[in-house]
Chains A and B, each alone.
Chain A
Amino acid sequence: MRLRTILLELNKDRCKGCELCTEACPREVLAMGSQINALGYRAAEAIAPQKCTGCRACALVCPEVVFTIYQTA
């Protein structure tokens, strides 16, 4: 049962590829991508955004404010 709808945005060009978010996410929403971003790192990406519950674990552990998370419903 889905309690709310989440919009998960990643500012990929702020990511330094530290991989703390992929470890913190309890729902396997995130994975490290293969493309190199503007900073020269392989950025995190949302591979299963529909599974996101808006728990904010990723945003909390991220040192670079990559994540902007909205509740849309």
Chain B
Amino acid sequence: MKLLAGMPQAMSPVVTHYCPGCSHGVLHRIIAELIDELDLRERTVGVASVGCSVLAYNYFETDFVQAPHGRAPAVATGIKRARPNLFVFTYQGDGDMAAIGTSEIIHAAARGEKITAIMYNNTIYGMTGGQMSPTTLMGAVTATTPYGRREENGRPYRMAELLAQMPGTAYVARTHVADVGNIVKTKRAIRKAFEAQLNGLGFSMVEVLGNCPTNWGVTPAEANRYVMGEMVDYFPLGEFKDLTKEVLAGVRA
């Protein structure tokens, strides 16, 4: 009997508080599977941020700390500097990382902190009821852009490309989890990000485009179509920096 799919060891078998069809569940599972496959559970410390995923620490079977809004990369820095043998990752939304936490993520990347930051980008502040975030697309109607995002609200910016320029980054990619093929690609990208940390190459980050059916006011399937359509048009998928290729080419089959 061979197990093809199931609950990862690193995932807590509880029912999550996420909405039906929310991509957070998919991303959590991917991360937990990688923690199992890379045998990291006993030396991982996750840093939860503030947003829908604030309770992420209830869903992983690893040590975890709650960081103030936006500060997860700084908290992760403190942990990794204190105990460099631990595997440290942050789990942040677009509001957390790209609004209030912009300074902390840029400097963690610039310093090349050996941590991995995961950004769940659904172009909205979900937990607080669907307000505009720095990645909300032009024209999108949100609680704070009732007329659609307009010039006076500024334009969305691309975090992955920004971080790829930081001198200390080793792996930066953008993927999405709105269909089967890209869920597999997301896992591959996060694995490379984890390997960048494990091999001491520097800072790694994966921006994962996901959905928010509740605040977008659509079904999960419709929400995923928005991710694959308009969102991917504005936030291109790909690897923007990859030092793992050169360093691990000889090591990995």
Contact = CB atoms under 8 A, between A and B. Distances in A.
Direct contact of A and B (CB under 8 A): yes
Interface of A: 6-7, 13-14, 16-20, 23-24, 39, 41, 54, 56-57, 59-65, 67-72
Contacts of B24: 63
B3 A69 contact: yes
Interface string B7-19: 1000100011011
B29 A65 contact: yes
A19 B21 CA distance: 8
B22 A68 contact: no
A18 B6 contact: no
Interface string B62-103: 000000000000000000000000000000000000000000
Nearest to A7: B1
Interface residues of B, number: 29
B1 A67 contact: no
Closest 3 pairs (CB-CB, A-B): A63-B25, A18-B21, A59-B5
Interface of B: 1-7, 11, 15-16, 18-26, 29, 179-180, 183-184, 213, 219-221, 224
B221 A19 contact: yes
Contacts of B220: 18-20
Nearest to B187: A60
B180 A57 contact: yes
A30 B2 CA distance: 22
Contact of A60 (B7, B11, B183): B183
B180 A61 contact: yes
Contacts of B6: 59, 65, 67-69
Nearest to B4: A69
A64 B11 CA distance: 11
B61 to A, nearest CB: 13
A71 B89 CA distance: 33
Contact of A65 (B7, B19, B20, B180): B7
A69 B3 CA distance: 6
A42 to B, nearest CB: 10
A14 B6 CA distance: 13
Residue in A7, A20, A69, A71 whose Cβ sees the most chain B Cβ within 10 Å: A20
Contact of A61 (B7, B15, B20, B183): B183
A70 B7 CA distance: 12
Contact of A68 (B7, B20, B21, B23): B7
Contacts of B5: 56, 59-60, 67-69
